[in-house]
Amino acid sequence: MWALCIWASLFLISITHWVYRWRNPKCRGNLPPGSMGLPLLGETLQFFRPNTSSDIPSFIKERTKKYGPVFKTSLVGRPVIVSTEPELSYFVFQQEGRCFQSWYPETFTEIFGRQNVGSLHGFMYKYLKNMVLTLFGHEGLKKMLPEIEQIACRKLDLWSSQDSAELKDETASMIFDLTAKKLISHDPGNSSENLRENFVAFIKGLISFPFDIPGTAYHKCLKGRERAMRMLKNMLQERRGNPRKNPSDFFDYVIEELQKEGTILTEEIALDLMFVLLFASFETTSLALTLSIKFLTDYPSVLKRLTEEHEAILREREDPDSELTWKEYRSMTYTFQFINETARLANIVPAIFRKALRDIQFKGYTIPGGWTVMVCPPAVHLNPDRYEYPLVFNPSRWEASESNNASKNFMAFGGGMRFCVGTDFTKLQMAVFLHCLVTKYRWREISGGNIIRTPGLQFPNGYRVKLTKRGNSERYT
């Protein structure tokens, strides 16, 4: 009996001690305020709670009110310092590889592959980035412009002939096909298996509880990745069997590189990278594009101004039916403001994660080495001190962006060394699509268009519109 009592009290004491340690982590210095939540679970559930608002997530809002702009918490089993401060976020981006390193939750590395760009460091990383930039850098995009225009016009023409079009899925499929064509010359009409379907299965289970048993979303997600990877692998091997004379896509580039002596690239790394690029490109851009069309519907004065800019481009031309040129693309001043404003309010990437490599002092607080730092772009993009009336969609606020500390107050595409390599590609695709849309079509809403954030942006009911061709005399001007 006594022994049992002693055991029970020892057990209680160690549990209490453990819970105490959980709630009060050790730190040589002064941890920011905040709560570590429940043991193990932390505040994970609160973080993922869905909300239909475009405002700063209530998880962040409540805690900044209570604790200030920098606070501690625990998410998916990791101690986390949340930064809503532009200064700290900027510092974190600038110190990449020195004080901080890119880090994503273990479930992410499991599903994205261990070799993906997000978790590669140093030399290998720079090398992969250069490979990506040959395709999506300035010169590559210049070459791609006519093709992007053709595809956008063809798709819009097709949709306008239908009763209605669901923009979220349709733009995703358009962008996926284009990216797959550029990266691996994939032609969906040619293969029996649908590569995109596997990606859709993959994405659906991406933010789900990591239980790998048949029937769960997570299981389907892993299976989707597996099948997509197998397809990519077959394609790569087929191509290695009969290489082409003029390298033109990413596969050619990879194959050339793999044949070099002493190369550090492996087939596995190349395939993981391909997967990440396909994934990163189509979901993000289609969300931004769909939301931007929603904004155009809700803000007629913005639609009017955007249309004027694009009609002016047509007017300046000798032949209004000629192709869009790079020079014309560069002249779309208002369109770029429109895209920035869309990205600011979309907050497609609601959190960017880093790992602290050692103890770091910031404004009297200590960020312990090994902890995760979560930079929170929505908290900056929707802060009324940085953007007046932050929830109003107003592209013109970007007119003065040069003097506005834009690099510190705008992080929709990340910052520092790991700034999104797809930024220019996304902007080009959006601008060209919008050009075709506003000069040739009108549309009206049929259904959907409502959003939900978990905290990632989603259109739970899609966004269905009816597109009609505009007559030549229908001008806003």
Ligand X SMILES: *[C@@H]1O[C@H](CO)[C@@H](O)[C@H](O)[C@H]1NC(C)=O
* 137 contacts ligand HEM (rule: CB under 6 A): no
* 61 contacts ligand X (rule: CB under 6 A): yes
* 94 contacts ligand X (rule: CB under 6 A): no
Q: Which residues pair with 51 in a beta bridge?
A: 453
Give the contact letters, 384-423, x = binds to ligand X (CB under 6 A), - = no.
--------------x--x-xxxxx--x-------------
* Residue among 283 and 328 whose Cβ is closer to ligand HEM: 283
* 239 contacts ligand X (rule: CB under 6 A): no
* 97 contacts ligand HEM (rule: CB under 6 A): no
* 46 contacts ligand X (rule: CB under 6 A): no
* 285 contacts ligand X (rule: CB under 6 A): no
At its nearest, how many Å lie between ligand HEM and the CB of residue 236? 19
CA dist 326 and 94 (Å) reads 32
Give the contact letters, 239-278, x = binds to ligand HEM (CB under 6 A), - = no.
--------------------------------------x-
CA dist 456 and 466 (Å) reads 27
* 371 contacts ligand HEM (rule: CB under 6 A): no
* 55 contacts ligand X (rule: CB under 6 A): yes
* 212 contacts ligand X (rule: CB under 6 A): no
* Residue among 197 and 226 whose Cβ is closer to ligand X: 197
Residue 131, burial from CB neighbour count under 10 angstroms (0-12, 13-18, 19+): middle
With CB under 6 A as the contact rule, the residue among 64, 115, 171, 340 that binds ligand X is 340
At its nearest, how many Å lie between ligand HEM and the CB of residue 189? 23
> Nearest-CA neighbor of 397 among 389, 303, 348?
389
- Report what 337 binds from ligand X, ligand HEM, none; CB cut-off 5-8 Å by kind: ligand X
CA dist 276 and 248 (Å) reads 20
Residues 390, 382: contact at Cβ < 8 Å? Answer: yes
CB-nearest residue to ligand HEM: 422
Helices (H) and strands (E) counted in the chain, each on its own, are 18, 12
At its nearest, how many Å lie between ligand X and the CB of residue 220? 28
**Within its chain, how far is the Cα of 410 from the centroid?**
14
Distances from the Cα of 425 to the Cαs of 39, 296, 417, in angstroms? 43, 21, 18
- Report what 366 binds from ligand X, ligand HEM, none; CB cut-off 5-8 Å by kind: none
> Nearest-CA neighbor of 432 among 320, 313, 315?
313
* 99 contacts ligand HEM (rule: CB under 6 A): no
The per-residue DSSP string of 76-98 comes to TTEEEEEE--HHHHHHHHHTBTT
Q: Is 94 left (phi over 0), alpha (psi -120 to 50) or beta?
A: alpha
- Give the DSSP letter of residue 34: B
- Report what 349 binds from ligand X, ligand HEM, none; CB cut-off 5-8 Å by kind: ligand HEM
Distances from the Cα of 270 to the Cαs of 54, 122, 233, 260, 278, in angstroms? 37, 17, 10, 14, 12
Q: Which residues contact 188 (CB under 8 A, 6 or more apart)?
A: 177, 180, 194, 195, 196
* 353 contacts ligand X (rule: CB under 6 A): no
Cβ-based neighbour number of residue 304 at 10 Å: 13
* 102 contacts ligand HEM (rule: CB under 6 A): yes
Contact residues for ligand X, defined by CB under 6 A: 51, 53, 55-56, 58, 61, 187, 189-190, 336-337, 340, 398, 401, 403-407, 410
> Which residues would be at the binding site for ligand HEM (CB under 6 A)?
102, 117-118, 136, 277, 280-281, 284-285, 288, 343, 348-349, 352, 412-414, 418, 420-422, 425-426
